[in-house]
Amino acid sequence: MKGQKVTVGGWVEDLRELGKLSFLTLRDVTGVAQIVIVGEEGLREVRDLTRQSVIRVTGTVQETKARDFPFEIKSEKIEILSMAVHPLPIDPIGRLESNIDNRLNARALDLRNQKTASIFKIRHHVLQSIRATLTDLGFLEVNTPKIIGSASEGGANLFSLKYFEKQAYLAQSPQLYKEQLTLGLERIFEISSFYRAEKSHTVRHLTEFTSVDIEADFMDYTDVMEILETVITNAFENVERNCLEEQKMLGVEVRRPQTPFARITYQQAILELGREGIDLAVGDDLQDAHLRKLGDLHPGFYFLTDWPMSLKPFYIHEKDDNPMLSKSFDLQYGYLELSSGGMRLHDPRRIRARLKEQGLDPAQFEDHLKAFDWGMPPHSGWGLGLDRLIAVITKMENVRETVLYPRDPERLFP
Number of other CB atoms surrounding residue 23 within 10 Å: 17
User: Which of ligand ATP, Mn ion, none does residue 206 bind (CB under 5 to 8 Å by kind)?
Assistant: ligand ATP
* Contacts of residue 136, Cβ cutoff 8 Å, sequence gap at least 6: none
For residues 59 and 341, which CB has a smaller minimum distance to Mn ion in the complex? 341
Return the biggest CA–CA distance within the chain: 86
* Closest approach of ligand ATP to the CB of residue 190, in Å: 13
Q: Give start and end residues of each alpha helix (H) in 30-87.
A: 39-47
Query: Which lies closer to ligand ATP via its Cβ, residue 334 or residue 385?
Result: 385
Other CB atoms within 10 Å distance of the CB of residue 390: 23
Write down the least CB distance from residue 383 to ligand ATP, Å: 4
Select the residue interacting with ligand ATP from 115, 146, 196, 411 (CB under 6 A). Answer: 196
Q: How far is the CB of 217 from Mn ion (least distance, A)?
A: 22
Window 199 to 228, contacts with ligand ATP (CB under 6 A):
205-206, 209, 211
Verify binding: residue 339, ligand ATP, rule CB under 6 A. yes
Residue 211 binds which entry of Mn ion, ligand ATP, none, CB below 5-8 Å type-dependent: ligand ATP
Given Mn ion, ligand ATP, none, residue 411, with its beta carbon under 5 to 8 Å by kind, binds none
Which parts of 288-307 interact with Mn ion (CB under 5 A)?
none
**Minimum CB–partner distance for residue 21 and ligand ATP (Å):** 51
Alpha helices per DSSP H over 156-220: 175-185
- Asked if 326 interacts with Mn ion (CB under 5 A), we say no
Separation of alpha carbons 27 and 33, rounded Å = 6
Residues with Cβ within 8 Å of 44's Cβ and at least 6 positions away in sequence, in order, are: none
For Mn ion, give the closer residue by CB, 33 or 286.
286
Evaluate whether 80 touches 49 at the Cβ level (below 8 Å): yes
CB 262 within 8 A of CB 298: yes
Burial class (CB in 10 A: 0-12, 13-18, 19+), 341: buried
Would residue 359 be called left, alpha or beta, if left means φ above 0 and alpha means ψ between -120 and 50 degrees? Answer: left
387 binds ligand ATP (CB under 6 A): yes
Number of residues located near Mn ion, criterion CB under 5 A: 1
Selection from ligand ATP, Mn ion, none that 209 binds (CB < 5 to 8 A by kind) is ligand ATP
Q: Which 332-361 positions form the footprint of Mn ion (CB under 5 A)?
A: 340
Strand order of the sheet with strand 166-170?
147-148, 166-170, 160-163
Q: Which of 290, 385, 394, 401 binds ligand ATP (CB under 6 A)?
A: 385
Which listed option, Mn ion, ligand ATP, none, makes contact with residue 339 (CB within 5 to 8 Å by class)?
ligand ATP
Q: Which residues contact 291 (CB under 8 A, 6 or more apart)?
A: 332, 335, 336, 337
- By the rule CB under 6 A, 388 interacts with ligand ATP: yes
Q: Mapping DSSP to helix (H, G, I), strand (E, B) and coil, where does residue 199 land?
A: coil
**CA distances (Å), origin 248, targets 213, 241, 289, 370, 380:** 31, 13, 33, 53, 39
User: Under DSSP, is residue 163 helix (H, G, I), strand (E, B) or coil?
Assistant: strand
List binders of ligand ATP among 135-194 (CB under 6 A): 173
Work out how close the CB of 313 gets to ligand ATP at its nearest, in angstroms, rounded to a whole number: 8
| Closer of 235 and 399 to ligand ATP (Cβ) | 399
Cα gap 163→328, rounded to integer Å: 35
Among 53, 234, 238, 340, binds ligand ATP (CB under 6 A): 340
Minimal CA–CA distance to 127: which of 389, 400, 395? 389
Question: For residue 5, which amino acid is it?
Answer: K
- DSSP-derived 3-state class of residue 97: coil
Region of 14-22, 46-54, 265-273, 385-393 interacting with ligand ATP (CB under 6 A)? 385-393
Separation CA 320–CA 317 (nearest Å):
9
Give the nearer residue to Mn ion in terms of CB position, either 383 or 406: 383
Nearest to 32 by CA among 71, 88, 3, 89: 71
Q: How far is the CB of 342 from Mn ion (least distance, A)?
A: 10
Nearer of residues 42 and 383 to ligand ATP, judged by Cβ: 383
- Residue number with CB closer to Mn ion (305 or 340): 340
- CB closer to ligand ATP out of 27 and 204: 204
Is 104 or 224 the residue whose CB approaches Mn ion more closely?
224
Applying CB under 6 A, among 264, 269, 309, 338 the residue interacting with ligand ATP is: 338
User: What does the binding site for Mn ion look like in residue numbers (CB under 5 A)?
Assistant: 340
User: What does the binding site for ligand ATP look like in residue numbers (CB under 6 A)?
Assistant: 173, 196, 205-206, 209, 211, 337-340, 383, 385, 387-388, 399
